[in-house]
Amino acid sequence: MAEFQRGNRRALSMRDIRPQGWLARQLQIQMEGMTGKLYEGWDSVGSYSGWLGGTGENWERGPYYLDGLLPLAFYLGDQEHYEIALRFVEWTLESTMEDGNFGPVSSREDYWSRFVMLKVLIQYKEISGDARVLRLFSGYVRYLEKELPVRPLTQWSRARAGDLLYCLGWYYEQKPSEEILRLVDLIREQALDWTDLFADFPFVRGADFYYDWQDVFTRHQGEEFDRVMNYHATHIVNLTMGFKYPAVLSWFYDDMDFAGNARQGMRAAGKYHGVASGALNGDEHIAGNDPSRGAELCSVVEYMFSLQVLLETFGDREAADQLERLAYNALPATITEDFMSHQYLQQANQVLVSKAPRDWFNNNDEANRFGLEPHFGCCTANMHQGWPKFLKSLWYREGEDVLEAMVYAPCRIETQMGGKWVRIVEETEYPFRNRIIFRFEQEEPVRFCLRLRVPGWCKSSRVKIYREGAGLAEEEKRKDWKPDGPGISLEKVWKKGDVVEFYPEMKVHATRWAHGSLAVERGPLVYGLDIRERWEKVKQTGMFSDFDVYPETPWNYALDAKQEFQVEERMVGPVPFSKAEAPVVLTGKGRRISRWKLEHHSAGKLPEGPAQADCPEEKIRLLPFGCTKLRISQFPWYKS
């Protein structure tokens, strides 16, 4: 029997945090781009949406879009777009049916789309305090209690039941009841059991090793897919959503090591399907770890949200490292700098963007093109949650005496600890720089423990603590501030004018990936070869354009495995992940491998190291992965 037993660790409320610095600029770019324009420019989430009572799309796209638009508009104080989001919210709150169900009548039997809208309403309640959200939850619990025994979770709703459990856990904290606990027991019985898969991860190769998609597709359809293949267990977005499943189960049960299970599952998926950017390859379904296979944008943002839930539940440093790797590499790399076009699939080694057949499992020929809705529109609707939810992933509290900076980005927080207000401004150009400053601005002294995560890639770090205008007298006491396992705990009475400076050492180093390839990293950033890009517009849809991208300089380089790179730090400009004004540039040596060429319109099979590089050594530049749209990020290597 489920019993609510969630610990006292929580992410800060949306009302307690605001973006600053480069992160505020990135959010504004997003709103000025596709996020702010989709309502007017894309019918799937426009005024005809089924989630406004119209005759348009009535499944997941409206809720997906709101899951990013609502928090983005709130954080930016953008009233115009917040009111657009409220139209959907108000319609949804008024759509409750007699049996407790809600949403478009034409899709009333669908469970999954409602899970997404419940997540939207949780954010709206956090912002507004509107009690109608709890009434809607109450009705939907009543509906599910009656409906699930006769019409169980299947397909998408079965694979993504963790999102429903997340919502029910939130609702239980607002309004505890035995009905919710009984429902949680029933959902666990019906859900795809990700904990079982993570305990002994069975998919050690890409889906095309196990299944012939053309055979499956031509001979079967719909619900039959799950009978003839592990369709939903191998679906890459389901998998990344599934990483939160052990965490939300731990809120109700104690019958296994849920934290260890989630860690085990993510490590296995990363080993067999991961690439240097932090993404998991899945050109719809798991695709192995070759850097020329595709990674879906939906899987990136859903993985990020699952990591937020894991951080809020377990406080695992490994999850924080992975969240930063995704947010600072995979996310910006697959969306144009103006946030007006995106890819469905990105590649770790991406040397050509075009409509052409590639070695995808079952995505179409335009899946790696930048555009409005390449391949399919789910990412067009779902991509918007990435940066806004990342902001909420930065800070956590444990009870009334511990405040933890778990993920680093510029922001401002204002929250209560022990009944007293705490105001901290976090100033930083991290991940491009290693200086992170915390300035205390509250009027009253407050005693609590400030905990700082030490990233897993960091071999040494230092902390300075002083009062503004009083010099660095307390710096000599930093020996008292010892690393506490994966973090540093600083407990004292914090006063206005106190400053903490944290310096996690960032050294350039190489990591090993598939086929013995090398990735170059510095801090949370992965670096890619600087390839000159030629962009060609191939399609115009209203205000949105589709693009192909062609290389105008060679890409087939191997790296000197033992070299030291020169690091040039530059100003972080108005566009944080700009290629032309990249905030960091690495300069090193490489040699071209003439036999390494395109295969099926992608970089061919990686030459095994030590590679026989047959061209003279050249000076090469590497840029942050997120600043590149063409790149090699997993290199063959040679001995100097």
Above 90 in pLDDT, residue 224?
A: no
CA–CA–CA angle 389, 326, 226 (5° rounding):
85
Does residue 624 contact residue 525 with C-beta atoms inside 8 Å?
Answer: yes
Q: Which of 504, 538, 559 is the last residue of a domain?
A: 504
Above 50 in pLDDT, residue 300?
A: yes
Q: Is 312 inside any structural domain?
A: no
Q: Is 613 inside any structural domain?
A: yes
Q: Are residues 421 and 557 in the same domain?
A: no
Q: Are residues 478 and 466 in the same domain?
A: yes
- The single residue listed with the structure tokens 């103006």 is 338
What local confidence, expressed as pLDDT, does residue 469 receive? 73
Q: Is 455 inside any structural domain?
A: yes
Q: Are residues 442 and 565 in the same domain?
A: no
Q: Are residues 64 and 164 in the same domain?
A: yes
- 330: tokens are 């995979």
Above 60 in pLDDT, residue 456?
A: yes
Q: Are residues 76 and 143 in the same domain?
A: yes
What's the mean pLDDT when you consider all of the chain? 95
Q: Are residues 185 and 63 in the same domain?
A: yes
Does residue 519 contact residue 561 with C-beta atoms inside 8 Å?
Answer: no
Domain count, the chain: 3
pLDDT (tens digit per residue) in 512-524: 999 999 999 999 9
Out of 123-127, 190-194, 469-473, 563-567, least confident range: 469-473
Q: Are residues 51 and 144 in the same domain?
A: yes
Q: Is 327 inside any structural domain?
A: no
Higher pLDDT, 411 or 478: 411
Q: Which of 476, 504, 532 is the last residue of a domain?
A: 504
Out of 353-362, 484-493, 530-539, least confident range: 484-493
Region 212-222: mean pLDDT is 85
Q: Are residues 174 and 74 in the same domain?
A: yes
- Distance, in Å, from the CA atom of 391 to the CA atom of 25, rounded to the nearest integer, reads 13
pLDDT (tens digit per residue) in 28-44: 999 999 999 999 999 99
Determine if the pTM surpasses 0.95. Answer: yes
Confidence band of 339 (pLDDT split at 50, 70, 90): very high
Domain ranges, residue 116: 33-191
Above 80 in pLDDT, residue 484?
A: no
Q: Is 203 inside any structural domain?
A: no
CATH code, domain with 402? 2.60.420
SS3 content of the chain, % helix, strand, coil (to 5): 40, 25, 40
Q: Are residues 166 and 41 in the same domain?
A: yes
- Distance, in Å, from the CA atom of 331 to the CA atom of 310, rounded to the nearest integer, reads 19
Q: Is 365 inside any structural domain?
A: no
- Strand, coil or helix: what is 591? strand
Does residue 401 contact residue 448 with C-beta atoms inside 8 Å?
Answer: yes
Q: Are residues 54 and 123 in the same domain?
A: yes
What local confidence, expressed as pLDDT, does residue 476 receive? 41
Q: Are residues 44 and 145 in the same domain?
A: yes
Region 372-401: mean pLDDT is 97
pLDDT above 70 coverage of the chain, percent: 98
Q: Is 482 inside any structural domain?
A: yes
Contacts of 189 (CB under 8 A, 6+ apart): none
Q: Is 611 inside any structural domain?
A: yes
Q: Which of 148, 168, 191 is the last residue of a domain?
A: 191
Q: Are residues 490 and 554 in the same domain?
A: no
- Distance, in Å, from the CA atom of 545 to the CA atom of 340, rounded to the nearest integer, reads 8
- Distance, in Å, from the CA atom of 346 to the CA atom of 349, rounded to the nearest integer, reads 9
